[in-house]
């Protein structure tokens, strides 16, 4: 420049430092309030449209997954479009007057480097737009479809976001404290609102999501190591070796647990515990089923409170000292590569009775105090005696009801500590939770009696309490008496069960174990081979008709033969009166089914190797325990 030439004044700008040269700067046309309002409205539009779309793709998505998905859709929009806009227009940013340009100039009040073609800012925003923008949209789609690779990608993106934001803050702090450079205006609303608050989202949320991803991934690797160890030491009996086996011998995965076949051992009371503690008898009794091919063995009804036992000999988990006995059984089952479950229960008004072999044949008898019973402390939803051979129950107070709910919750925690794989809540056969559902046995006038909603309240609160303390990957089952087989009286019946079943997936229940009866001595059961199986099919059909396919159905009762067990999971279309017209209730193999699982009880006591006989009769080759390989059925044997 010539010595006498006069320099042209640079345009005035509001950025720090005030002597910063920003050529071609044009002031924003919109004020701060307008720009912030437009940005907030844009975020709201992204959230609402994403929510509506997700509800169509995955209507039963969990709240945590929904919030995570919304976050990554927002990140995708901001990274790809907003930050991508900056990377593309960084040279022209001071004079840009479109919406994104004015938004960037507004944000630059807290960091003037965005108006000076700063190399670090350009590189950071370019990498963010190119890498994390598209990746965020891909991850959102994975969450919506519950893709198995969701957590690794979530960890990568969250770590990238966290690294970028920490580096962003670090360079600002270095320049301020070491070089004496200040990029933000001093007003609190700008420094704390723009620079600190808005950027903090990309530190706090990625930290939470990264921790969650690491936790889930760690759990997956732990499960893999456990599985590898199990494969080396166990027999995995009951696994089909034949190609394309029937559904009965095909695997089923519920949450994080995979069952090698669809045959489960139903819970059976043995009345042989010692003050709730399992004994050597239980280890031998349950172990005999666990290594003979059943994919799940469910431990008998286990009382959550001492007064909730059917008899003094019932199993219990009302105190920590009882955990060890259950752990022994669980460890043995796991050592054989099998799964173990537990049925948590409260006997209600049917408590304090003698074991069957101690009372009159075919009848119940009260266990008096001399027998170790508690006839004066039997509790029921209402003060209604079940019948002859049972104690007079005391109507439960609201405190009693809450205590039982807490008991289920605490027992579930202990079951997890014992290594149990699956928890079932006992809501059948006239015991406490069943009696709360039925107008026959629940005559209360408070919030736990009267209307259908009130009568189901205790069960629903119990389910919520249990689900809240068990791992997300642990299956939760509910056994229910779908009908009470009572005539000419208002009672709990199949339509009530269907109505309840529709609520269960949202409560975290994964399988409905369909039984019946047990709530009144006046019941009249229409007994036939499939008398309970048909009810299970009716419920499954009604659920499928309304598009509810994430609640598995278990059938139980008089299942003794191979072809019958097979047919329950692969049958022909049937018209059910409470489900409406004929519904094709297809399983994942495209076959018509009444249920997803068969639960067998007494037949296993008669024939512990029942799984192997069923497989042989159906022509399915299955894995036997390695110790028993020489004992397999001879080809051509009649069994």
Answer whether the bond into residue 418 is a cis peptide, omega within 30°: no
CA atoms within 13 A on the CB side of 188: 0
Question: Can you point out the beta strands (E) in 482-521?
Answer: 511-515
Q: Are 617 and 562 spatial neighbours (Cβ–Cβ below 8 Å)? A: yes
Give Cα 421 to chain centroid, integer Å.
13
The answer to whether the CB of 605 falls within 8 A of the CB of 270 is: no
Kindly provide the residue ranges of all beta strands, DSSP E only, lying in 157-268, ordered along the sequence. Answer: 252-254, 257-259, 263-265
Q: Of 414, 509, 409, 426, which is closest to residue 468 (Cα–Cα)?
A: 409
- Catalytic position from the list 15, 291, 431, 448: 431
Whether 431 is catalytic:
yes
Helix 398-417 × helix 457-467 angle, to 10°: 30
Closest by Cα among 425, 430, 441, 432 to 346: 432
Tokens of 572: 């022909």
| Plot region of 275 (φ>0 → left; ψ -120 to 50 → alpha; else → beta) | left
CB of 568 within 8 A of CB of 533? yes
What is the rounded CA–CA span in Å between residue 113 and residue 215? 37
CA distances (Å), origin 400, targets 7, 261, 312, 403:
88, 40, 20, 5
Give the single-character DSSP code of 251.
-
Return the residue matching tokens 């009159």: 360
Q: Is 59 helix (H, G, I), strand (E, B) or coil?
A: coil
Number of H helices, E strands in the chain: 21, 13
> What are all long-range contacts of 15-24, with beta carbons under 8 Å and residues at least 24 apart?
15/108, 15/109, 15/112, 15/115, 15/183, 15/185, 16/112, 16/182, 16/183, 16/184, 16/185, 16/186, 17/112, 17/181, 17/182, 20/112, 20/116, 22/94, 22/112, 22/115, 22/116, 23/94, 24/94, 24/95
Of 498, 499, 480, nearest to 537 by C-alpha is 498
User: Which residues are designated catalytic?
Assistant: 431
């Amino acid at each position: 420049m010539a010595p006498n030439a006069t320099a042209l004044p640079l345009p005035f700008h509001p950025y720090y430092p005030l002597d910063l040269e920003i050529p071609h700067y044009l002031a924003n046309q919109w004020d701060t309030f307008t720009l912030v309002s437009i940005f907030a409205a844009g975020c709201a539009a992204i959230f609402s449209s994403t929510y509506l779309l997700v509800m169509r793709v995955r209507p039963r998505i969990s709240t945590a997954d929904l919030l995570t998905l919304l976050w990554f859709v927002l990140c995708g929009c901001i990274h790809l479009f907003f930050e991508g806009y900056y990377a593309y227009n960084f040279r022209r940013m001071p004079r840009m007057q479109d919406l994104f340009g004015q938004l960037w100039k507004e944000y630059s009040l807290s960091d003037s480097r965005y108006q000076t073609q700063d190399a670090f800012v350009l590189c950071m925003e370019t990498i963010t737009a190119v890498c994390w923008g598209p990746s965020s949209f891909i991850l959102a789609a994975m969450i919506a479809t519950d893709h198995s690779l969701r957590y690794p990608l979530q960890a990568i993106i969250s770590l990238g976001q966290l690294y970028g934001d920490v580096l962003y803050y670090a360079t600002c702090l270095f320049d301020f404290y070491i070089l004496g450079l200040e990029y933000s205006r001093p007003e609190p609303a700008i420094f704390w609102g723009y620079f600190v608050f808005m950027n903090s989202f990309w530190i706090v949320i990625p930290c939470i999501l990264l921790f969650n991803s690491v936790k889930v991934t760690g759990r997956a690797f732990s499960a893999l190591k456990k599985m590898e160890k199990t494969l080396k030491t166990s027999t995995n009996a009951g696994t089909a070796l034949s190609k394309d086996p029937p559904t009965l011998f095909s695997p089923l995965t519920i949450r994080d647990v995979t069952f090698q076949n669809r045959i489960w051992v139903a819970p059976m009371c043995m009345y042989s515990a010692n003050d709730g503690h399992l004994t050597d008898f239980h280890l031998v009794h349950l172990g005999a089923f666990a290594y003979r091919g059943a994919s799940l063995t469910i431990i008998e009804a286990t009382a959550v409170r001492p007064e909730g036992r059917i008899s003094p000999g019932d199993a219990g988990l009302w105190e920590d000292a009882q955990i060890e006995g259950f752990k022994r059984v669980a460890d043995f089952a796991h050592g054989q590569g099998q799964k173990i479950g537990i049925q948590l229960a409260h006997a209600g008004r049917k408590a304090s009775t003698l074991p069957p072999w101690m009372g009159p044949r075919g009848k119940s008898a009260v266990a008096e105090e001399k027998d170790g019973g508690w006839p004066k402390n039997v509790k029921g939803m209402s003060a209604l005696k079940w019948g002859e051979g049972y104690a007079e129950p005391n109507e439960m107070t609201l405190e009693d009801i809450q205590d039982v709910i807490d008991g289920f919750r605490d027992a579930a925690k202990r079951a997890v500590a014992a290594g149990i794989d699956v928890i079932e809540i006992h809501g059948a056969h006239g015991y406490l939770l069943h009696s709360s559902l039925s107008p026959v046995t629940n005559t209360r006038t408070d919030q736990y009696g009267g209307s259908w909603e009130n009568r189901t309240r205790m069960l629903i609160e119990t389910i919520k309490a249990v689900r809240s303390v068990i791992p997300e990957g642990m299956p939760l089952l509910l056994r229910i008496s779908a009908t009470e087989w009572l005539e000419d009286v208002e009672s709990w019946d199949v339509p009530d069960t269907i109505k309840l079943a529709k609520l269960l997936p949202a409560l975290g229940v994964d399988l409905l174990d369909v039984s019946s009866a047990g709530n009144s001595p006046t019941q009249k059961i229409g007994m036939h081979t499939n008398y309970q199986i048909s009810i299970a099919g009716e419920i499954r059909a009604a659920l499928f008709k309304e598009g509810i396919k994430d609640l598995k159905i278990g059938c139980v009762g008089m299942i003794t033969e191979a072809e019958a067990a097979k047919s329950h999971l692969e049958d022909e279309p049937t018209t059910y009166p409470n489900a409406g017209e004929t519904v094709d209730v297809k399983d994942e193999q495209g076959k018509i089914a009444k249920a997803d699982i068969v639960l067998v009880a007494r037949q296993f006591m008669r024939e512990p190797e029942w799984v192997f006989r069923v497989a042989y009769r159906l022509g399915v080759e299955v894995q036997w325990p390695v110790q028993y390989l020489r004992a397999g059925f001879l080809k051509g044997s009649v069994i």
